Amino acid sequence: MPVKRSKDSKGPYYQWGEKGKKYHYESGDAGSRQKAKDKAVKQGQAARASGYEG
């Protein structure tokens, strides 16, 4: 599953897949955005390491 970027009522976020945790970041803050993306990528890596094959 890819990491996707979207926005909800709390603001912009990155999420791994459709049901992963949403990692919100501050709009306009490149560092905050990168940290949120890194967390979503790590979530995907952990899921695959645990046996997820989707």
One-character DSSP codes across 1-54: --EEEEEETTEEEEEETTTSPEEE--TT-HHHHHHHHHHHHHHHHHHHHTT---
- State pTM to two decimals: 0.90
Average pLDDT by consecutive 10-residue portion of the chain (54 residues)?
A: 94 95 97 98 95 88
Cα–Cα dist 30/5, whole Å: 14
